[in-house]
Structure 1
Amino acid sequence: MRCPTVAPRRRASCVTSVSATACRTSRTSTRHASWPISNSWSPTRPSRRWPSASSPRSWRSPPTSRVTSCAVHRGAPVSGASVSLSSMTLPSRPRWHPNQPLPRRPLPWRRMRLPVTTAQLPTTTARLPLMTASLSCEEPDMAHVALLIQDISACGGVEKVMHGLARDLSVSHRVTLVSVREGEPYWGRLEGVEYRTLGLPATGTRQNFRHWVTHLRRLMLEERIEVMISGYFAFHLAAQLAARGTGGVDGEGRPRPRTRIIAQEHSAYHHDRRAKRIVKQLAYRHLDVLQVLNEVDAECWRRRGLAPTVIPNYLDDQRADEARSGCEHQVDVVMVGRLAPIKRLDLAIRAFANSGYRRGRLVVVGDGPERERLLALCHELGLRVFQGANDSTVPAGTQVLFTGALRDVSHELRRARLLLLTSERECLPMNVIEAKREGLPCLSRPVRSGPLALIEHGRDGMLSAEPDGSGDAAIIAELAHELARLEFDDELLLRLSNGAWQSFDRYSAHAVLPQYQRLISRLAPPTPGDAATTEQAHQDSSADTRPDTHSRRVQRQPLEEKAHG
């Protein structure tokens, strides 16, 4: 096919033979916007408007376009020849499969204009009262660590994990607990921990996301945050964008730290949709640290070309002095968690009713939107229900007890015989770790990631024989069978209890907390001037007993002056 001739009143273009490597054109007319050869055409970006042999319309050259260079001799002017489209080899876009690792490419974040100075940022960030009574700055490796959560007044597992982490890290670091939503801390205020709230909605809209980025960047620059640990996927991206460009020197000439982001992935890899997994795979390649909670998810991310760090959830070491010596006094089956559809408590209630369990009652600890529906289900199955505390006020013959949300569930776990877990998906459930601390075995569905990583069948817990793709009827039948089996088998329960008590060591504070300390030290290492600064601070401490805030790694103003300022 050759270019057709144009009308005599128009000047034909000077075209030469062009290969598919590169071609640069210049146009002086804007009327023909659909001209197939454009300035942005490249081997990696094929033109979508290139004419084909099957195109019914004739292909004409614009009146004033002229080829100034070709691929053979780049930059050399040519003239007078026609081009044969049949001999052209157009590049094709490389195909990519989601299971293949992607090459590292910079994301288009440079187009987003973010403020660099704090003077350009809004001043609507609300602040909770500071807790600076026990802040000590005498440690040379003391870094400023911020923990980002969604709602400080919520009683979820992520908030509980962040609360415990803030309590333990505040001993050796300066810790700030940042909440997107306003509210009073559900787990109480910690001494030595600062609290900040952004006062923004936590729904993931485009406008809210821009507000998250702006307010987080302002917080990073003002408070000189060195490490930020995020607990939710949307906040991973917002914190990652907000941290771009931090560092350097501020307006007063003081060094400003670069904020490093640790993304805690609290959702299992296999439980996300395929589209969300692809988005995570693209975004997580630019994180400083991707933290996963178990080896099952870590192996999935490694196959996608990432290098995650495995640090599980943990609890303090305040557990029983020894394992249980008997199980004859523990009769109740307990469930701990939010009353949400994802927890599938309806399966637990139906399995408890079908098992004929009469040795104790089913104790449901937690609250949520499914409470009324679960109460109606109990009445439908003919189960006697009571709502209130698990004490002497519970009527005799109660089969299902709803206690509501409790901040300390250790007392309910000590008096229970078995923990029941029927969630559709879990990453690393805290209720199973709390049960291990009290020596309580768990009966769970074989959910991939969480229960399979925590429970060893027959040693520290039981997993129901649930076939893949089975319906609710088969799941209920398997759970009812296991409940009936464990109702009177005290020997098996005692062996499982001892195994659960011993396996808690892997999830205790003395085993997991040093991993966080090493990770923070790697992301925010001490500078060479720390030794001299620390020595000067010790010399000044003999004349002034107040804590020297300038002995930190990065120079900061004292918190007392900022509070009064």
Structure 2
Amino acid sequence: MNEELDPGSLAGGVLLTIHRLSQGGADRVAMLLANGFAAAGMATAIAVLRSGGEGDAVLRALLRPDVRVVTAGPPMGSRHLELMRGRRFIRRLTEMARPDHVMASSSNMGLVTGLALGPRGGRGPLRVMKLTNPVIRPTDRGAWRRLYRRTLYRFIFDRYDRIIVLTDAERHFLSRLYPAHCDRFRTAANPYVTDAMLGRATSREPHAAPHILTLARMMPQKRLDRLLTAFAGSSRRDSRLTIVGDGPERPALQRLALKLGIIDRVDMPGFAADVLPFLARTSLFVLSSDYEGLPAAILEALAFNIRVVTTDCFDGARELLDDADGCATVAREDVSALTRAIDDSLALTGTPIGLRDIARRYTIDAGIAAHLAIMRGPAIASPIMAR
């Protein structure tokens, strides 16, 4: 149920902004952060620009009772109209509830939240932005497109006091790209991994046919067509692939699986609120995206001691996985390399060593502590990382 905020009710607290409650990992992270801020004694509210997201009921169920959710209104049939309404909505809530902190919970919310708050300077809340996707994406081809993206994010960054990125590699890159903003960039691990993941035993049979898993919305960014093509080329004809997620590309992906002759070995069960049962019986996790921030699904797989093969779709991918037992990072466009990496990983026998140790850096407690330290800490940047 939607709530309203009383005047001054967020004094000393935080307002998080989000477009809609969707299936995306950034939205789930926002819910976990809101819980963590509330548990730390901060009055916490979430401003949602549009009701009726596909993950609405699931994500609301994750929240503590003392985290309030305030929604601007129903869908308007246009993202641009919703963002225009959201600008006024965020400004009104900020002026009325007077939070000490306002956090744009994703890259997509950076612009509208920054516009709502106005230029930096004078009194007002500490402005924090989470950068959840790359500033320059692999799909941004051409000098003019890249210049536009770089200029747009300079405008956005000008409106924030602190900008949270997900890896040290990304922070170093952005500090070179935006030297005037380098004192605002901070690294913080997202809260992803639970004790239940780290302690849960798998149900994989040691001699069973391999089971490959990906967790991804069926969107162009995720390049599930690339994964299907790589899977079709695998020498392990006894393996199965499960794609957990849904989206507008489902019909095209089903047609492609039929064309490749693998439709009988590919499962597409749709969105799942609980992915742990899928992880528990997985032999290998594969991510085929063009770009990501820091994929929660990879860390969840590592927490289950599952080997991971991924494209180099996020800064720090090779740093995270290249020394991990049986894991691999391949070039985005190299489908043959993705196939070879899948086959090489599936050929390994024995229990992987050390994968859960990587995942422990990204526990929910560590991620929340890192974000709190950034919000409450001094203005001078320091490389805070949940390790």
> What TM-score does the superposition give when structure 1 sets the normalisation length?
0.58
1:158 aligns with 2:158: no
The reply to whether residue 402 of structure 1 matches residue 268 of structure 2 is yes
Q: Is the 8 A contact 2:198 2:304 kept in 1?
A: yes
- C-alpha separation in 2, matches of 1:351 and 1:520: 43
**Alignment partner of 2:346 out of 484, 487, 492:** 487
- Would you say the 8 A contact 2:219–2:249 is kept in 1? yes
Asked if structure 2 preserves the Cα contact closer than 8 Å seen for 1:166 and 1:175, the reply is yes
Distance in 2 of aligned mates of 1:411 and 1:417: 13
1:347 aligns with 2:226: yes
Residue identity matched to 2:216:
G
Counterpart mapping for 1:219-230 below 5 A: 219-230=93-104
Matched AA of 1:437: A
Which residue in 2 is equivalent to 1:313? 190
Following superposition, the deviation at residue 360 of structure 1 comes to 2.9
Equivalence map 1:154-553=2 (5 Å): 154-172=22-40, 173-183=42-52, 184-189=56-61, 190=63, 191-199=65-73, 201=76, 205=80, 209-233=83-107, 235-244=109-118, 258-271=124-137, 273-303=146-176, 304-305=178-179, 306-307=181-182, 308-315=185-192, 316-321=194-199, 328=206, 331-385=210-264, 399-449=265-315, 451-459=317-325, 461-464=327-330, 466=331, 475-491=334-350, 494-495=351-352, 498-522=353-377
> Whole-Å Cα distance in 1 between the matches of residues 321 and 136 of structure 2?
18
Q: Distance in 1 between matches of 2:17 and 2:311?
A: 31
Worse-matched range after superposition: 424-433 or 327-336: 327-336
Supply the distance in 2 between the matched residues of 1:406 and 1:325 (Cα, whole angstroms): 19
The alignment of Structure 1 onto Structure 2 pairs a total of residues equal to 357
Report the residue type matching 1:278 in the other structure: T
Which whole-Å CA distance do the structure 1 matches of 2:119 and 2:262 have between them? 60
Deviation at 1:326, TM superposition (A): 8.3
Question: Could you say if the C-alpha distance between residues 358 and 276 of structure 1 is closer, same or farther in structure 2, counting changes exceeding 3 Å?
Answer: same
Does the CA contact (< 8 Å) of 2:47 and 2:90 recur in 1? no
Q: Cα gap change, 1:285/1:344 in structure 2, threshold over 3 Å: closer, same or farther? A: same
In the TM superposition, residue 376 of structure 1 has moved relative to its aligned partner by 1.0
Q: Could you tell me which amino acid in structure 2 is paired with residue 352 of structure 1?
A: F
- Looking at secondary structure, tell me which structure has more helix per residue: 2
Structure 2 counterparts to residues 138-149 of structure 1, below 5 A = 143-149=12-18
**CA gap 1:155/1:208 in 2 versus in 1, 3 angstroms:** closer
Structure 2: 5+ residue runs without aligned partners?
141-145, 380-387
User: How far off is 1:347 after superposition?
Assistant: 1.6
Return 5+ residue gaps in structure 1 as ranges.
Answer: 1-126, 249-256, 386-398, 525-565
176 and 523 in structure 1: CA distance in 2 versus 1, 3 angstrom threshold: farther
Higher CA-based Rg: 1
Structure 1 residues 479-505: Cα deviation after superposition (integer angstroms, max 9, x where no partner): 2222222333213xx23xx32211112
Query: In structure 1, how many angstroms separate the alpha carbons of the residues matched to 2:113 and 2:283?
Result: 43
CA contact (8 A) 1:323 1:439 kept: no
Cα offset for 1:327? 6.8
**Contact (CA 8 Å) 1:428, 1:454: kept in 2 or not?**
no
Distance in 1 between residues matched to 2:294 and 2:77, nearest whole Å: 23
Letter matched to residue 226 of structure 2: L
Instruction: Mark the CA change 1:523 to 1:215 in structure 2 (over 3 Å): closer, same or farther.
Output: farther
Query: Alpha-carbon deviations, 1:505-562, whole Å to 9, x = none?
Result: 21112322222222232489xxxxxxxxxxxxxxxxxxxxxxxxxxxxxxxxxxxxxx
After superposition, the Cα gap between the structure-2 partners of 1:326 and 1:198, relative to the gap in structure 1 and judged at 3 Å, is: closer
Q: Distance in 2 between matches of 1:267 and 1:414?
A: 28
CA distance in 2, matches of 1:216, 1:202: 20
Structure 2 CA distance for partners of 1:310 and 1:442, relative to 1, 3 Å:
same
